[in-house]
Structure 1
């Protein structure tokens, strides 16, 4: 899995190698000002060749290029050590970081081969090297310089190893988090596919009973049309059956394309009024705010998702539901509140990720998961919280679009 915003380890090594070349040039300049006698040509040639190899290999970006770069680090260090005392130079400890990086980034035979190359180069430096650069042949000065070099070499090795390993650990943790999120998304998609299959089976099984009930309503209306009380009940039943038929029709014909842009608050008020008709037993307190002239191409899938939340709130809130909506900044902000019950921390953590069975009045279940998936497809969000004034608040945020293109 690629990292969309972070630098890959291979790219980080390229940057680190340029930094080491710059640090080497500074060290050579400091040595020159201090009067240290060096074979300047081999040292400058080693840094120049390392920079050139880094530039060329950075354009390849393969595992072979990575290992070639680490081998170039070993060879360039060997040339520097050859020009500055050979194996006696404390910088010899810098053979370890390239081998460690190879073991971290390309486990297998390659780190062993690179380690063997480092050992071979270090062994050769015992025999072939230029003298240790000591001004005036002062042995005490040479020993003091050696100790200082050991300290700086240790500090640099620690910085390289700790910094790079920490970076790899953060990268690995980030990738693990991405994989967990991908697995949860895949699980939710699999659950939605299973629900879709069951919904298709249910639609096929319910179509005939709904038609039968509709015919019975018509026959009862014809036989007892003079009874006002029965007429009201039959009218309500016809409305409920029509709503069921419409829901099955949407399921059979698939997702409907978004319509033309329409006033958002007006469309929301119309949908809330239709929900009031379906749930006459519920007291709905609605407050709509924002620019009444804001228009957007609203997807049909948005309204069933909102209805799921309204039904949950109605069942959990004892027949009272509060709705507040605002259109601002190209976003529809919708809050649905019931004033009874609360959700546990576990329910809040898993809300919308999987079906849950919970006792009323929390009312958290399959509807919330369906709503969560629908809003995610539309580029929106759903957040459930325990309201400070009591009850549960569902916060819906949906971006508005003029084209009907979503998520």
Structure 2
């Protein structure tokens, strides 16, 4: 961002609520008034000391008191209420004009270079107020300058008598200054106003775009969570459908069989699993942003996943091992939790005997947590491996093929990665890398 843009952004406040622009504008106007007053008074005293110009101390004292009172009243007004209308802000600008007129009446009028300060006030008006006020201030400034010019042209300016051409040259100089002021006023009233309006519109559009982006991220997060929940429900619903089909074929006596009771127990287990998934979806849907990353202790993160897996797959042999400090913090959210659980469940279904889930600090990138999920199954078919991570790709007929796709999307949104490989000795391995909080970077197991 350029220094010029930073200045305009400071000078042209953008209201986030009604009256905020006027309040900020008045604060900056009071600061400008204080700064110019201090510099102006010091300048007058310096000119008196260096060039011997006589300056009325009564004038300096009176103006100083007037400025001090106006600034104090302005800050008292802001403390009383933060709402400042455009009309009120315009009146505060006119106070600066009155103070400037009082100074010019006693220090040379149009021949005083300080008369150009009207342009500064006009620029401030153009930056803060609508065009109607800008045009009014430009007209007031031109009338003030014209009045001082006519007064100077009708007087002898306090100059010693001299050749007529010298007096004409000085008069032309005054007229030239007036013309420059007139042109400058018109340019500021037209172009600075347009520039200020353009900045205000752009900042408003940027604010709206940021709000839309946040809203879209929330919708995507909810959609990802809903898709993950739908995928999580797919397996238990399929299991229940098969069991119910088998149960429909049995008579009352056969339903008393112990194996049938075991099937009914599995059916209840799958129903519990579905309820759990729907409860999670409802809970995180009601949050402002279900995809919002959170810092969790590694132990809490692992226990949450471990409890879910062991409850849903009580007969599976799944070993969880933390190979780093268990008080380490990780960045996670509900979608990432679903992603890790989904990949572990895929390994459980593919494994012949057991599944290993290890948690380590990534050796090549100490700012990431590495989750290694290994199984001793047949491995991933080559045709599936080539399209891994794409939707509707699966090696199982009963699967929709969305699990890895959704897991990859959730982990990538958090700044992590997923890599799937086949192990030479047999089975497959998934490597999930999740970012660590900045204050955890480089922490390894002692």
Q: Is TM (by shorter chain) over 0.5? A: yes
Residue pair 1:323, 1:334 contacting (<8 A) in 2 also: no
> Could you list the per-position Cα deviations for residues 59-111 of structure 1 after superposition, in whole angstroms to 9, with x for gaps in the alignment?
24513332122212222222222211111122222111111111111122111
Q: What SS is found at the alignment partner of 2:54?
A: coil
Q: Judging changes above 3 Å, is the alpha-carbon distance between structure 1 residues 200 and 337 closer, same or farther for their aligned structure 2 residues?
A: closer
Q: In the TM superposition, what are the counterparts of 1:187-202 in structure 2 within 5 Å?
A: 187-190=216-219
1:26 paired to 2:64: no
Tell me the SS of whatever aligns to 1:394. Answer: strand
Deviation at 1:193, TM superposition (A): 6.9
Question: Pairwise mapping of residues 113-262 of structure 1 onto structure 2 (< 5 A)?
Answer: 113-128=136-151, 177-190=206-219, 212-213=241-242, 215-216=244-245, 242-251=272-281
The question of whether the paired residues in 2 share the 8 Å contact of 1:21 and 1:51 is answered with no
SS of structure 1 residue aligned to 2:415: strand
Separation of aligned partners in 2, 1:382 and 1:359:
23
Give the alignment partner of residue 75 of structure 1, picking from 98, 113, 118.
Answer: 98
Q: In the alignment, what sits opposite 2:112?
A: 89
How far off is 1:121 after superposition? 1.6
1:382 aligns with one of 399, 414, 422: 414
**Aligned equivalents of 1:56, 1:286: Cα separation in 2:** 69
5+ residue gaps, structure 1: 258-262, 296-300, 327-332, 340-355, 373-380, 400-407
Which residue number in structure 2 is paired with residue 57 of structure 1?
74
- Give the match for residue 349 of structure 1: none
- Cα distance in structure 1, aligned partners of 2:343 and 2:29: 54
CA contact (8 A) 1:67 1:110 kept: yes
Task: Name 1:272's counterpart in structure 2.
Answer: 305
* 1:85/1:131 contact within 8 Å kept: no
Paired residue secondary structure (1:383):
coil
Name structure 2 gaps, 5 residues minimum. Answer: 1-14, 189-193, 288-295, 362-367, 375-388, 395-401, 420-429, 440-446
Asked whether the equivalents of residues 322 and 336 of structure 1 are also in contact (C-alpha less than 8 Å), the reply is yes
Aligned match of 1:109: 132
Q: Check whether the contact 2:225–2:281 (CA below 8 A) recurs between aligned residues.
A: no
* Aligned mates of 1:357, 1:67 — CA distance in 2: 62
Q: How many residues align?
A: 333
> Residue 394 of structure 1 is aligned with which of 399, 424, 434?
434
d(CA) in 2 for partners of 1:103 and 1:22?
24
Q: 1:325 to 1:92 in 2, by over 3 A?
A: farther
When normalised by structure 1's length, the TM-score is 0.55
Deviation at residue 23 of structure 1 after TM alignment:
0.8
Q: Distance in 1 between matches of 2:234 and 2:73?
A: 67
Q: Aligned partners of 1:360, 1:17: CA distance in 2, in Å?
A: 70
- Kept in 2, the 8 Å contact 1:385–1:393? The answer is yes
Pairwise CA distance, 1:32: 2.4
Contact 2:415 2:434 in 1 (8 A): yes
Q: Deviations over 1:104-144 (max 9, x none)?
A: 11122111111122122212222447986899x9x9xxx9x
Which residue, out of 318, 336, 339, partners 1:308? Answer: 339
Give SS of 2:209's match. Answer: helix
Return the alpha-carbon distance in structure 1 between the equivalents of residues 286 and 214 of structure 2. Answer: 24
Shift of 1:176: 5.6
Aligned CA distance change for structure 1 residues 398 and 323 (closer, same or farther; 3 Å): farther
Asked if the contact 2:306–2:320 (Cα under 8 Å) also holds between the matched residues in 1, the reply is no
1:98 pairs, out of 114, 117, 121, with: 121
For the aligned residues, what is the CA RMSD?
6.3
Change beyond 3 A, Cα 1:50–1:206: farther
In structure 1, how many angstroms separate the alpha carbons of the residues matched to 2:112 and 2:297? 75
2:356, 2:62 → 1: CA distance?
78
Distance 1:112 1:80 in 2: 24
1:228-255 superposed Cα distances (whole Å, 9 cap, x missing partner): xxx9x99988755542232134456888
The equivalent of 2:322 in structure 1 is 287
Q: Structure 2: how far apart are the matches of 1:43 and 1:396?
A: 63
Say if 2:65 is the partner of 1:45. Answer: no
